Amino acid sequence: MNITVQKTTMPKAKPAEGTALGFGKIFTDHMFVMDYSVSKGWHDAKIVPYGPIEVEPSCAVFHYGQAIFEGLKAYKTPSGDVLLFRPEKNMERINISNDRLCIPQIDIPFCVKALKTFVDIEREWIPSGEGASLYLRPFIIATDAVLGVHPSYTYKFFIIASPSGQYYPEGVNPVRIWVECKYVRAVKGGTGFAKTSGNYASSLRAQKEAEDEGYTQVLWLDGIERKYIEEVGTMNVFFVIDGEVITPALQGSILPGVTRMSAIELLNQQGKKVTERPITITEIYKAHKEGKLSEVFGTGTAAVISPVGELNYGGKKIIINDNKTGPIAQKIYNELTQIQTGKAADKFGWTQRI
């Protein structure tokens, strides 16, 4: 399939060097779009000026949420090259999400190529500076103009791009996390492992209540026993207990993060074993009480590594590592971001130059 390119005739002004970009607030000049129909499969791949799209109010995605999305970043290296970090992992995950949501499979190599073609066109939009990148948001929506509850027969795949700064305005500083006891995010058999919009729609109430209490995000517990730790709002989570790095095992209700996978591979390569197993919130509090809990941190594309300085579980607050970034989180952050931005040799072959 060819990708047709229609360049904008009205390029937007790019943010000035040093502007606080925030996260996902500004969009580039173009977007990638591709359609699906049963008779044609995925077709009509094109890069066109970024702008509003027209669909009918009956469009399936508005009513039943048949949609999936991804998030990854393009980085500028000190020499001005452009790097993508493990883009096939995101495209592979699209197909895992698609399968769960009854959305047709995409052609992974083609979509990686489309992503690269798109980023190449938008390369002037990639910001430089600590923590800055071009955030890429591939997503698919169901577009049948029909109200019956049924998987759509038509879809649209988009990639949009947003020059972004650090995810948390606080930077790589510990965040406060609310352990969620009232609401649940996912259960086995549900959609927790899929990157689907509905997971976020149902998480907003908990996120809002946590924010009202002064917390950055929630830490989800399992939906049945409400004791096993799952993940943080937009991140997977790691604990360091007695020197051992532990992260909840992926058992169908947790989003399998590319950053999680990369952190595990980095730690393993440094000779630090990472244990993937079920872990309870009680075990965390016990380890803290015994002085064995040295670090807690989240991993995700948006924030990369986010140390956790405080947990609040049912009103019981614990402070982790004196509310300071721990050495393991700091080391993974440094190594990952240096590989992503081409400042350190990429022994793993994770980055791809555009």
Ligand X SMILES: *Cc1c(COP(=O)(O)O)cnc(C)c1O
On the CB side of 348, CA atoms within 13 Å amount to 21
Q: Which helix (H) or strand (E) holds 352?
A: strand 351-353
The residue type found at 5 is V
Q: Which helix (H) or strand (E) holds 294?
A: strand 293-300
The residue type found at 349 is G
Of the candidate residues 47, 142, 235, 281, the single one contacting ligand X (CB under 6 A): 235
Q: How far is the CB of 253 from ligand X (least distance, A)?
A: 10
260 binds ligand X (CB under 6 A): yes
Residue placing its CB nearer to ligand X in the complex, 143 or 247: 247
Of the candidate residues 28, 166, 259, 306, the single one contacting ligand X (CB under 6 A): 259
Q: How far is the CB of 197 from ligand X (least distance, A)?
A: 10
Residue placing its CB nearer to ligand X in the complex, 156 or 195: 195
**Count of beta carbons in the 10 Å neighbourhood of residue 332:** 24
Residue placing its CB nearer to ligand X in the complex, 248 or 257: 257
71 binds ligand X (CB under 6 A): yes
Furthest C-alpha separation in the chain: 64
Q: How far is the CB of 34 from ligand X (least distance, A)?
A: 22
Q: For residue 157, what are its two tokens?
A: 């795949």
Site map (CB under 6 A) of ligand X, residues 28-67, x = contact: ----------------------------------------
DSSP secondary structure letter of residue 262? H
CB–CB of 229/221 below 8 Å? yes
Q: Which residue is nearest to ligand X (CB)?
A: 257
Helix/strand/coil for 282: helix
258 binds ligand X (CB under 6 A): yes
CB–CB of 305/172 below 8 Å? yes
231 binds ligand X (CB under 6 A): yes
Phi, psi of 9 (to 5 degrees): -95, -5
Give the relative orientation of helices 87-101 and 108-121 as an angle to the nearest 10 degrees: 120
Q: For residue 274, what are its two tokens?
A: 């990472």
Of the candidate residues 94, 161, 255, 311, the single one contacting ligand X (CB under 6 A): 255
Please count the residues of this chain forming the interface with ligand X, following the rule CB under 6 A.
14
Q: For residue 139, what are its two tokens?
A: 């997503």
Q: How far is the CB of 82 from ligand X (least distance, A)?
A: 19
Residue placing its CB nearer to ligand X in the complex, 29 or 335: 335
Residue placing its CB nearer to ligand X in the complex, 15 or 71: 71
Q: How far is the CB of 235 from ligand X (least distance, A)?
A: 5
300 binds ligand X (CB under 6 A): yes
Q: How far is the CB of 69 from ligand X (least distance, A)?
A: 8
Of the candidate residues 301, 306, 337, 341, the single one contacting ligand X (CB under 6 A): 301
| Region of 50-58, 128-136, 297-305, 343-351 interacting with ligand X (CB under 6 A) | 297-305
DSSP secondary structure letter of residue 6? -
d(C-alpha 22, C-alpha 162), whole Å: 10
| Alpha-carbon torsion angle 200, 206, 208, 214, nearest 10 | -130
Q: How far is the CB of 221 from ligand X (least distance, A)?
A: 14
Binding-site ranges for ligand X (CB under 6 A): 71, 195, 231, 234-236, 255, 257-260, 299-301
